[in-house]
C-alpha cells in the first residue's frame, strides 16, 4: 500500500535508544519513526514489550534511557503541549464504571483547547454510542470505540493506540480501519498502533515495527519486510542447505521460514513470518 506522505521530511514521532529495565525484562528499542500521512503497525507476541514501549513513548511510564520527539519537540519538557494534539488509547482506557459517557466527555472537553464537539458527536453516531449509557453497560468493543471517540475529538495529529481493534467484531474492525485510512488521507496525521491481528495491517499499514523479546526485529515498510522471507517445506529447506529462521508444525508437515535469497519457497505473510520467527529452529 502506498499513500502520499507529503510533508513527511520531519516525522510526527521519533524514538531513539529507548530503554526500560525491570527485574525480569529489559526493553531496548533502537529507533523508529512515524511519518505524516502514514499508519505504522507495532507488532509482536504477548510479552514482547509493545505496551511498555507505548507507555514510555507517551510519558505514562518513565524511560531509563533514550529520547522521544513528537512534532519536532522532545517529550521531556513539552509533554503537556504534545498531549494536546496527540490521541492516546492505552490498554482500553479505564473510566469509572458508574459514570455516563456524556459526563466523561464533559469533563474531558475542559482539558483540551481544540476539543471539537461536532467531531465528538459525529464519532458517537458513527460508532453507535449512546451518551446516556454508563460505562458498565458497554461491551469491551464499545469501550474501545468510546475511548477512540474521545481520542479523536480534540484535533489530534498523532494517534498512539494499544490494541484498538481488540474485542471488536470483524465488521466493526473493518469500519475502524476505514476510519484510520480516512484520518491519514490528508497527509497531516500519523497513526502508531499495536495489534496481534495481522490482517488489520495487511489492509491499512504502510510500515511495521516488529518487536521480539524487548528488541526491534525490524522497522521498515511492510512490503519490504515481507520481501525478506519465504516459506518452504522444512525438508526442502534442509535439502537445499537453506538457513532456517524458524520452523512450525502443520497438519501437512513442518514448514520453515527462510531468507528470500535461498531461492526456494513461496511468499510469506506477516502472520507466517511472526509465528515462524517465534519458533526458532533448535533441532
Residue 234's pLDDT is 95
Residue 32's pLDDT is 95
CATH 3.40.50.300 positions along the chain are: 13-224
Q: What is the CA radius of gyration of the chain?
A: 20
Contacts of 92-98 with CB under 8 Å at 24 or more apart are 92/140, 92/143, 92/144, 92/147, 92/162, 92/163, 92/166, 92/167, 93/143, 93/147, 93/150, 95/135, 95/143, 96/135, 97/134, 97/135, 97/136, 98/134, 98/135, 98/136
* Closest to 276 in 3D by CA, of 251, 259, 263: 259
Residue 86's pLDDT is 95
Condensed to tens digits (0 to 9), the pLDDT of residues 24-35 reads 899 999 899 999
- Residues paired with residue 192 on neighbouring β-strands, in sequence order: 40, 160
Residue 63's pLDDT is 94
Residue 4's pLDDT is 45
**Looking at the domain 13-224, which fold is it?**
Rossmann fold (3.40.50)
Residue 92's pLDDT is 53
- Residues paired with residue 28 on neighbouring β-strands, in sequence order: 19, 215
How far apart CA 158 and CA 184 sit, in angstroms, is 10
What are the DSSP calls for the chain, one per residue?
Answer: -----TTTTS-SEEEEEEEEEETTEEEEEEEEEE-TTEEEEEE--TTSSHHHHHHHHHTSS--SEEEEEETTEESTTTHHHHHHTEEEE-SS----TTSBHHHHHHHHHTT-TT--HHHHHHHHHHTT--TTSBGGGS-HHHHHHHHHHHHTSS--SEEEEESTTTT--HHHHHHHHHHHHHHHTTSS-EEEEE-S-HHHHHHH-SEEEEEETTEEEEEEEHHHHHTTEEEEEHHHHHHHT---SEEE--TT--EEEEEGGGS-SEE--HHHHHHHHTS----
Tell me which residues of the chain have a pLDDT lower than 70: 1-9, 91-94, 279-283
Condensed to tens digits (0 to 9), the pLDDT of residues 249-272 reads 988 899 999 999 999 999 999 999
Amino acid at each position: 500500500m502506498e499513500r502520499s506522505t507529503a510533508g513527511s521530511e520531519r516525522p510526527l514521532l521519533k524514538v531513539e535508544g529507548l530503554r526500560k529495565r525491570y527485574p525480569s525484562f529489559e526493553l531496548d528499542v533502537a529507533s523508529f519513526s512515524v511519518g505524516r500521512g502514514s499508519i505504522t503497525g507495532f507488532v509482536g507476541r504477548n510479552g514482547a514489550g509493545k505496551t511498555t514501549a507505548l507507555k514510555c513513548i507517551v510519558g505514562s511510564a518513565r524511560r531509563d534511557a533514550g529520547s522521544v520527539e513528537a512534532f519536532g519537540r522532545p517529550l521531556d519538557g513539552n509533554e503537556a503541549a504534545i498531549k494536546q494534539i496527540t490521541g492516546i488509547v492505552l490498554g482500553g482506557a479505564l473510566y469509572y464504571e458508574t459514570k455516563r459517557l456524556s459526563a466523561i466527555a464533559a469533563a474531558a472537553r475542559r482539558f483540551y483547547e481544540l476539543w471539537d464537539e461536532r467531531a465528538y458527536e459525529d464519532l458517537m453516531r458513527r460508532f453507535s454510542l449512546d451518551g446516556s449509557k454508563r460505562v458498565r453497560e458497554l461491551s469491551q468493543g464499545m469501550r474501545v470505540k468510546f475511548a477512540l471517540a474521545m481520542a479523536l475529538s480534540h484535533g489530534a495529529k498523532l494517534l498512539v493506540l494499544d490494541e484498538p481493534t481488540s474485542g471488536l467484531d470483524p465488521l466493526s474492525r473493518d469500519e475502524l480501519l476505514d476510519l484510520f485510512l480516512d484520518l491519514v488521507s490528508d497527509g497531516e496525521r500519523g497513526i502508531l498502533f499495536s495489534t496481534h491481528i495481522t490482517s488489520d495491517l495487511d489492509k491499512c499499514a504502510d510500515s511495521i515495527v516488529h518487536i521480539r523479546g524487548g528488541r526491534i526485529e525490524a522497522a521498515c515498510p511492510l512490503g519490504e519486510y515481507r520481501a525478506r522471507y519465504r516459506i518452504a517445506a522444512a525438508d526442502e529447506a534442509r535439502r537445499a542447505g537453506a538457513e532456517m529462521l524458524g520452523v512450525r508444525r502443520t497438519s501437512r508437515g513442518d514448514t520453515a521460514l527462510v531468507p528470500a535469497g535461498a531461492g526456494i519457497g513461496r511468499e510469506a505473510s506477516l502472520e507466517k513470518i511472526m509465528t515462524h520467527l517465534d519458533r526458532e529452529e533448535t533441532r
